Amino acid sequence: MKKFKNADAFRAAFPRTLPVMAGYEVLGFGFGLLLQSKGYSSWWAILMSLTIYAGSMQYVAVDLLSTGAGFLSTALMTFMINARHLFYGISMLEPYRDTGKVKPYIIFGLTDETYSLVCSGEVPDGVEKSAFYFWTSILNQSYWVTGSALGALFGTALAINTKGVDFSMTALFTVIFTDNFLNKNSRLPAIIGLCVSFVCLMIFGASNFLIPSMIFITIALMLFRNVLSKERRREHDQHNT
Amino acid sequence: MINTTHSLIIILICTVVTALTRFLPFLLFPSGDKTPQSLKYLGGVLPGAIMAMLVVYCYKSTVIFTWPYALPEIIATGVVVLSYLWKRNTLLSIGAGTVLYMFLVQVVFV
């Protein structure tokens, strides 16, 4: 019986993960290629995609590795980049309740893309929810791992000139920034983040500006809380009417 | 490439801290207690601001005052932003921008 339940859940989950497959194969490929260009073999790409499993963070981790970053700044950087996961978790407390032995894995696998597939909390009819969440999560990670491995292998095999491939990280964050800028709700936070970081870069220099930036961004966001919460509420009301 | 031990420790820290951000809510609010308002607020606005910080981080070592005067960065960024405004396709913009940038630094502005 268990087997049939799993097969149903797989059949329900797989088509829903196809858009993520496209995204993860390409972004994972870029990550693998980038890591390989810094002298790390494909095993490193696979290891990182199995253990860290966080898209933008792994691009930044390539930089942390190639510059030999300190442990404290690595920890802080990771925390700030992934802090948004805290809020995904908060909204998944209820749906992920009573999911039994797959619970640790589906929490571990709660990336932006997986969250976008499960956040509605809806599970297709006749499918066991823990199995559905499990297949969605593990299929997504399998795309990410294979994409990273392929990117690293491709880079090694073709020995192409990878100079400039670092720009993929810049392009990724520039796109996310542009998208945030276009959205009324996230425009002011994006501008605050940009201005504060730029000022910190000027004051503290390229190798020391991240930690002060994170501190001052948090302070600035708290100072703008009234304006921003009001804007968010207005937006929310407009959506509801 | 830095040495293997240092690399493994960095990966371990990234792994533990990433997992921490995912598990913490389930450990802190096991019964779905009300989360503090200020935390909810930061959850909404922090990601956008941190992404902007990462943009600055990516350009931090760009050379502006000597040849090629950041031209590869400016051109490729322009293509990324404009193609995104046009097609709203993340992967297309990243792919086009990266390939163009590689071409510029390898062939044009050598």
- Per residue, what are the HEC states of A169-193? HHHHHHHHHHHHHHCHHHHHHHHHH
C-beta atoms of B43 and A221 within 8 A: no
> Do B22 and A110 make contact, defined as CB atoms within 8 angstroms?
yes
Pick the residue of B8, B17, B75, B105 with the most A CBs within 10 A to test the interface with A by mutation: B17
pLDDT at residue number A2: 55
Tell me: pLDDT of B77 over 80: yes
| A176 interfaces chain B, CB cutoff of 8 Å | yes
A150/chain B closest Cα distance in angstroms: 16
Decide if A95 contacts B9 (C-beta within 8 A).
no
Q: Which residues of A touch B106 (CB under 8 A)?
A: 161, 163-164
Q: Report pLDDT digits (tens) over A45-73.
A: 999 999 999 988 999 999 999 999 999 98
Decide if A74 and B13 are in contact by the 8 Å CB cutoff: yes
Q: Determine the Cα–Cα distance for residues A188 and A180; give it in Å rounded to an integer.
A: 9
Q: What is the pLDDT of residue A240?
A: 52
What pLDDT shows up at residue A161?
82
On whether residue B91 sits in a domain, the answer given is yes
Instruction: Give the one of B9, B13, B73 whose C-beta lies nearest to A78's C-beta.
Output: B13
Output the pLDDT for position A48.
98
Q: What pLDDT is stored for residue A19 in this prediction?
A: 81
Q: Is B81 within the bounds of a domain?
A: yes
Chain mean pLDDT for chain B: 89
**Which element (helix H / strand E) includes B72?**
helix B71-87
Chain segment A147-178, per-residue pLDDT in tens: 999 999 998 887 778 788 888 888 988 998 99
Closest-CA residue of B relative to A52 is B15
The overall average pLDDT reported for chain A is 89
pLDDT (0 to 100) of residue A241: 45
Q: Give the pLDDT band of residue B81 (cuts 50, 70, 90).
A: very high
pLDDT at position A238: 58
Degrees, nearest 5: CA angle A82-A29-A66:
60
Q: The domain containing residue B91 runs over which residues? A: 34-108
Residue-level pLDDT at A229: 80
Q: Flag whether B75 is in a domain.
A: yes
Q: Which residue of A has its CA nearest to B13?
A: A75
pLDDT at B33: 60
Q: Per-residue confidence at A179, pLDDT binned at 50, 70, 90? A: very high
Gap from B78 CA to chain A (nearest CA, Å): 10
Write down the pLDDT at residue A93. Answer: 85
Q: Is residue B64 part of a domain?
A: yes
Determine the straight-line distance between the first and last CA of chain A, rounded to whole angstroms.
46
Average of per-residue pLDDT across B54-83: 92
* A85 close to B (CB below 8 A): yes
CA distance A220 to B65: 31
Q: Which of A47, A85, A99, A209 to mutate to test the interface with B (most CBs of B within 10 A)?
A: A85
Integer Cα distance of A209 and A194 in angstroms: 13
Specify whether the CB–CB gap between B106 and A163 falls below 8 A: yes
Using the Cβ of A43 and the Cβ atoms of chain B, whether some distance falls under 8 Å is answered with: no
Q: Does residue A232 surpass a pLDDT of 90? A: no
pTM: 0.81
Number of domains in chain B: 1
Kindly list the residues from chain A whose CB atom is less than 8 angstroms away from the CB atom of residue B105.
163-164
Task: Judge whether A192 and B47 are in contact, CB under 8 Å.
Answer: no
Q: Which of A30, A65, A94 faces B7 most closely, judged by CB atoms? A: A65
